[in-house]
Amino acid sequence: MGVMGDGEFLQGVTALWTAAHYQIPALFIISNNRSNYNDEIHQAAMAKERGRPPQNRWVGQQIDKPAPDLAALARAQGVDAEGPVKNVPDLMAAIERGLAAVDAGKLYLIDAHVALGYTKKIVTRGH
């Protein structure tokens, strides 16, 4: 099982073709916040440092309007995929389907939509 952000996924989506070509069973869960969010935070910090408006941090970082169909991109590489999944019960059911696909020797991708930002738990830990 691999879990990655949507920005990382989009930078290497064709690696799925390689996995499909060599029939490597795997489950991929894409944590899709429609942004390179870590870079947004960096852009805001740099904007403040340089006396520029931090409100523009999203420019060139958000992956939205239109949001790419990540499941369709995966299917285009020969991978079974579903999404967007937008709530926990649907995600749990999707994971079960994904694990069944892996048990059957297949690749499976889940596009899991998540909220933009960090949780308080992550922020208070200083990450």
- Structural domain containing residue 84: 2-124
85 in Cβ contact with 112 (< 8 Å): yes
Note the pLDDT of residue 95. Answer: 97
CA dihedral 78, 82, 84, 85 (to 10 degrees): -150
* CATH number of residue 84's parent domain: 3.40.50.970
Note the pLDDT of residue 37. Answer: 54
Note the pLDDT of residue 8. Answer: 83
Note the pLDDT of residue 125. Answer: 47
Domain total of the chain: 1
Helix (H, G, I), strand (E, B) or coil at 10: helix
The 8-class DSSP code of residue 1 comes to: -
Tokens read off for 52? 């520029």
Which residues of the chain fall short of a pLDDT of 70?
35-47, 54-64, 116-127
Nearest CA among 108, 114, 73 for reference residue 94? 108
